Amino acid sequence: MLKPEAVEAGDRLPAQTSFAVRIEEGLTLECGVHLAPLDVAYCAYGTLSAQKDNVILVCHALTGDQYVAETHPVTGKPGWWGRAVGPGCAIDTDRFYVICVNVLGGCMGSSGPKTLRENGEPWGTDFPPITIRDMVFAQARLLDHLGIDRLFAAIGGSMGGMQVLQWVASLPERVGAAMPIATAPFHSAQNIAFNEVSRQAICGDPDWHGGRYWAMDTIPAKGLAVARMMAHITYLSEEALTQKFGRRTRRDAVPSHEAVASGNSLFGEIFEVESYLRHQGSSFVRRFDANSYLTITRALDYFDLSADYDGDLSAPFRHCATRFCIISFTSDWLFPTSQSRLLARALNRAGVNVSFVEIESDRGHDAFLLEEPDLDRTMRGFINGAAEQAGLSQRTAPDPEAPVERGTVVTEGTSHAS
């Protein structure tokens, strides 16, 4: 274990961006279980202002993680939202201190099914059921730890958007501005149905071993890959698939007699869309834990903001001063615009200051991760407007006088790629 390391705000070198904090007092989960200690892994970019008023929390989606703007340590791929987070980007790290936290239940350093218990074994399927609210409170514990009272903004897409909504619903005084993107105030029956197919694929894999696959020195690779393949289809639109692959084949669409007689070529990779999905599945298996996938998909399914308020979606937002910008995409059928509109109207009823934009895109749910000029413009405009309203200066000058308590660094961080 490394020694506690106090990092000065304004200290740009060394460019350590990846951190892990152990919070000994832990967190009482919504299910009643007290989880202690609580590990929270996160990445942070930019410079914390002296007033600590320039913090943007970026919340990641189901299979995302904290490596939002840097090379992923496992896959070697660029950060999942590098186009939105960085110097001069919409979420400008020259101006804001950007934090992205691996969600509770995740598998990149925060407490989750992969975490070792006292008996030296991973939690596995014994990991308590968690909710989006638990994820948010784990993030809030981290901010407490860092001495950050208030977020200038919370921003996230898909499940990240749900965390943004939950942040405002649970801790409205701690969020200045909220940008939920391609998300919904509750998980629909269709959303739950897709998740259930994913879970069945994993649990049906003989290598899953009732969730104790680590004991057998294996992983349910087949099941997890199928889960990912199926989910990936829901992230794309029909138009996107058609444009990208159409009916293009990798080899003869109708295999020869000999090929069929010799074995499985009829069900080998014939169409390009198939090899694309298989590749998506197999590369996912290398970086994601199956039990984490089960745990997080359940947290998604439980999500329903209005459940505690007799179905009144306005109730959790009444009298909140947070500025909202809701963004949806025309071709997103997993979290359709109708859900965002429902949310926007509920916020109107609550008197909240809300902007609502539906961006034209043919790329489905994944559009929020892709190059969409209107998304970029909207994000920049909203952030600038909110900053102006909050009286935040254009650039945040580094202030070496403000120390940030990082707490106990339990794992060594990866350094910034560039």
Partner 1 sequence: MRLDQQLIAEMIAPGTRVLDVGSGDGALIDHLFRTRQCDARGIEIDMREVTRSVAHGLPVMHGDADQDLVHYSDDAFDYVVLQRTLQAVEKPREVLRQMLRIGRHAIVSFPNFGHWRLRLQILLSGRMPMNKVWHTPWYETPNIHPCTIQDFLELCESEGYVIDRWLAIDEAGERAPWRRSIRLANLFGEQALFLLRRR
- Catalytic sites, residue numbers: 158, 332, 365
Shortest CB 382 distance to partner 1, Å: 6
Question: Do 280 and 232 meet the contact criterion of CB atoms below 8 Å apart?
Answer: yes
* C-beta closer to partner 1: residue 273 or 313: 313
Among 125, 280, 282, 348, binds partner 1 (CB under 8 A): 348
Q: How far is the CB of 297 from partner 1 (least distance, A)?
A: 31
Contacting residue, 174, 232, 287, 349, with partner 1 by CB under 8 A: 349
Closer to partner 1 by CB, 218 or 389: give it.
389
- 344: contact with partner 1 by CB under 8 A: yes
- Distance between CA 204 and CA 197 in Å, rounded? 10
The reply to whether 311 sits near partner 1 by the rule CB under 8 A is no
CA 376 – CA 89 distance, rounded (Å): 8
Site for partner 1 in 79-118 (CB under 8 A): none
Closest CA to 224 of 234, 211, 235: 211
- 232/345 with CB nearer partner 1: 345
| From 32-40, 132-140, 145-153, 345-353, span contacting partner 1 (CB under 8 A) | 345-353
Which residue lies nearer to partner 1 by CB, 27 or 344? Answer: 344
72 forms part of the interface with partner 1 (CB under 8 A): no
Minimum CB separation of residue 149 from partner 1 in Å reads 24
Is 276 one of the binding residues for partner 1 (CB under 8 A)? no
Q: Which is nearer to partner 1, 78 or 381 (CB)?
A: 381
- Check binding of 339 to partner 1 (CB under 8 A): no
Q: Please, what is the minimum distance in Å from the beta carbon of residue 342 to partner 1?
A: 10
Provide the minimum distance between the beta carbon of 300 and partner 1 in the complex, in angstroms, as a whole number.
26
Q: Measured from the CB of residue 376, what is the shortest distance to partner 1 in angstroms?
A: 9
CB 239 within 8 A of CB 246: no
How far is residue 20 CA from its own chain's centroid?
17
**Residue 262 tokens, joined:** 């010799």
Cα–Cα nearest to 145, from 242, 39, 65:
39
Element (H, E) at 157: strand 151-157
| Cα–Cα distance, 237 to 95 (Å, whole number) | 35
Using CB under 8 A as the binding rule, whether residue 181 contacts partner 1 is answered as no
Q: DSSP of 268-310, one letter per residue?
A: SS-BHHHHHHHHHHHHHHHH--HHHHHHHHHHHHH-BTTGGGT
Which secondary structure element, helix H or strand E, spans residue 243, and what is its range?
helix 238-244
CB of 239 to partner 1, least distance (A): 18
- Which residue has 């691996």 as its token pair? 102
Residue (176 or 220) nearer to partner 1, CB: 176
Contact status: 350 vs partner 1 (CB under 8 A):
yes
Per the DSSP assignment, residues forming a β-bridge with 28 are 34
We find the least distance from the C-beta atom of residue 143 to partner 1, in angstroms, to be 26
Helix ranges (H only) for 303-414 are 337-349, 373-390
Amino acid identity for residue 162 in this structure? M
Measured CA to CA, the distance from residue 283 to residue 275 in angstroms comes to 12
Which residues, numbered 354-393, are part of the site for partner 1 (CB under 8 A)?
354-360, 374, 377-378, 380-382, 384-386, 388
Structure token pair of residue 200? 């069945």
Q: Does 287 bind partner 1 (CB under 8 A)?
A: no
Residue nearer to partner 1 on the CB measure, 213 or 382: 382
Q: Does 207 bind partner 1 (CB under 8 A)?
A: no
Report how far residue 115's alpha carbon sits from residue 120's, in angstroms, rounded to the nearest whole number.
9
Residues 94, 82, 156, 363: is their CA dihedral positive or negative?
positive
- The residue type found at 310 is D
Which residue stretch of 167-175, 299-307, 341-349, 406-414 sits at the interface with partner 1 (rule: CB under 8 A)?
A: 341-349
Cβ proximity to partner 1: between 355 and 408 the closer is 355
In the numeric block, which tokens belong to residue 174? Answer: 């701690």
317-336 footprint of partner 1 as x/- string (CB under 8 A): ------x-xx----------
The residues, ordered by sequence, that sit 6+ positions from 94 with a Cβ below 8 Å of its Cβ are: 46, 87, 88, 395
State the residues that interact with partner 1 by CB under 8 A.
323, 325-326, 344-346, 348-351, 353-360, 374, 377-378, 380-382, 384-386, 388
